[in-house]
Chain A
């Protein structure tokens, strides 16, 4: 039994693992013996070359350095963006109505805006480096978490609020006993979505900034030198990080600490 109370069927888990292995083997075979020989190496590199590159990167510590760079940018941006979003959502959801009337349209506009458009501005203003990428990731995370949290705070059954008030609960008690636990479910869902976005944003920002480091920076530089194996190896590493992020937040959402959003 898991912490969330879901029973894990070992046979089903083994079957899923087996299926993934077979599909991976099929993909490798198709790539190795069908695709690679018929396409120039510049366009699609040999899968063995990609594996060899990953092996080299693991051996000399390059992979760890690249992953740490991208991960630190995405985590820092994710944490900063989420914290600001949560504070703003609380201010809009629980504070005076006018605060929401002023802040919400601004965040909604930010949500609709193609976020990558901020990169040239950040580049010209702050140059290339850790800080502008973190600011960019925070900008992409902020509206997702804000809108999720605010929806959570605003979708509480008004009858429940009324009932608590009838029993003499103060505004603070209504917030801590009802609004906050309800909002946390939505927060978990929005954090899961934002976490995936934060990795993609960090990789995208590194590519557009032309960074010298990080997985996106490696994709950018390897692309310039027609090094397809490195592009694919970095893309593979980014996919693994992104999957782990998604799994982590899904697990947190499912666990008792953050109940999953309903409805």
Chain B
């Protein structure tokens, strides 16, 4: 019923979006050098040629793979550490010491740590990984901590009275309470980790990765390739978001769990 009525509207929206995009490209192509210099922004035709060259030579894939490897590795290591620290902080003594530390860590501009990582690890990709770890770890910590705090103490007492052991309580209550938060934060963690990786790669441009390529092309005043790399980053960020949010949303619908931020 609503199909035919909605279709013209969808077509109109798509048409308007394409028209705006075409206008942007036209302005970008035609504006004089004094406003949009080639060495900074390139021109649409040049950017397209640069994109084709980066893709056909395989450089785009190699650089994307390297950047994503650091991002994923950082998340895979940071998540369990964040969760373990949250468990430690759930204990009375742990909370006493850990909470002030995590509060300070939350407020610390993590990007500032890169200067220390350069001193510690030199100009190597280990600094990239360390920055991702420090940026994403607190995110998982806070999600796990929130999940733990949502466990109803009365239900825990009821489980104990019914003879449930620690493992049973952990499986039936604690993990169930933490799961929606952790899955929800996983979606948030990816763009944060990706951003941290790019920052670290820009500051320490070693290896063949998106940040290092962007840094090199910008310094060489190659506007076409600079913008092409930025477009690749945008596409990668979008694909990452879709690839993570879709299965999470499906999981939320299947299990009936309200996953925050999904």
Q: Are A219 and B112 in contact (CB under 8 A)?
A: yes
CA distance A239 to B194 in the complex (A): 22
Q: Contacts A101-B17, A112-B237, A196-B107; is A124 near B115 (CB within 8 Å)?
A: no
Q: Are A105 and B17 in contact (CB under 8 A)?
A: yes
Q: Is A33 an interface residue (CB 8 A)?
A: no
Q: Is A95 an interface residue (CB 8 A)?
A: no
CA distance A27 to B17 in the complex (A): 55
Q: Is B28 an interface residue (CB 8 A)?
A: no
Q: Is B191 an interface residue (CB 8 A)?
A: yes
**Nearest CB in chain B to that of A226: its residue:** B119
Q: Are B97 and A26 in contact (CB under 8 A)?
A: yes
B236 to chain A, nearest CB (A): 9
CA distance A124 to B224 in the complex (A): 13
CA distance A111 to B230 in the complex (A): 14
CA distance A239 to B101 in the complex (A): 12
Q: Are A235 and B112 in contact (CB under 8 A)?
A: yes
Q: Are B191 and A112 in contact (CB under 8 A)?
A: yes
Q: Are B100 and A19 in contact (CB under 8 A)?
A: yes
Q: Is A13 an interface residue (CB 8 A)?
A: no
**Residues B209-235 near A (CB distance < 8 A):** 210-211, 214-215, 217-219, 221, 223, 226-227, 229-230, 233-234
CA distance A119 to B215 in the complex (A): 9
CA distance A222 to B101 in the complex (A): 25
- The secondary-structure label for the interface of chain B is helix
Q: Are B97 and A114 in contact (CB under 8 A)?
A: no
CA distance A24 to B101 in the complex (A): 9
Q: Is A185 an interface residue (CB 8 A)?
A: no
Q: Are A239 and B20 in contact (CB under 8 A)?
A: no
Specify which of A27, A114, A116 lies most central, judged by the most chain B CB atoms within 10 Å of its CB: A114
Q: Are A223 and B237 in contact (CB under 8 A)?
A: no
Q: Is B116 an interface residue (CB 8 A)?
A: yes
Q: Is B152 an interface residue (CB 8 A)?
A: no
Q: Are A102 and B17 in contact (CB under 8 A)?
A: yes
Q: Are B199 and A208 in contact (CB under 8 A)?
A: yes
Contact with A along B78-104 (1 / 0, CB 8 A): 000000000000000000110011001
Q: Is B25 an interface residue (CB 8 A)?
A: no
- A42 to chain B: which residues have CB within 8 Å? 119
- B221 to chain A: which residues have CB within 8 Å? 124
- The secondary-structure label for the interface of chain A is helix
- A26 to chain B: which residues have CB within 8 Å? 97
Stretch at the interface among A83-91, A152-160, A198-206: A198-206
CA distance A19 to B96 in the complex (A): 7
Q: Is B77 an interface residue (CB 8 A)?
A: no
Q: Are B109 and A242 in contact (CB under 8 A)?
A: yes
Q: Is A169 an interface residue (CB 8 A)?
A: no
- B198 to chain A: which residues have CB within 8 Å? 114, 116-117
Return the contact of A116 from the options B17, B115, B199, B223 (Cβ within 8 A).
B199
Q: Contacts A43-B119, A207-B203, A208-B203; is A200 near B111 (CB within 8 Å)?
A: yes
A-B interface, 3 closest residue pairs, ranked by CB to CB distance from nearest: A120-B218, A223-B115, A204-B111
Interface residues of B (CB under 8 A from A): 12-13, 16-17, 20, 37, 39-41, 96-97, 100-101, 104, 107-116, 118-120, 191, 194-195, 197-199, 202-203, 210-211, 214-215, 217-219, 221, 223, 226-227, 229-230, 233-234, 237-238, 241
Interface residues of A (CB under 8 A from B): 19-20, 23-24, 26-27, 42-43, 98, 101-102, 105, 109, 112-121, 123-125, 196, 199-200, 203-204, 207-208, 215-216, 219-220, 222-223, 226, 228, 231-232, 234-235, 238-239, 242-243, 246
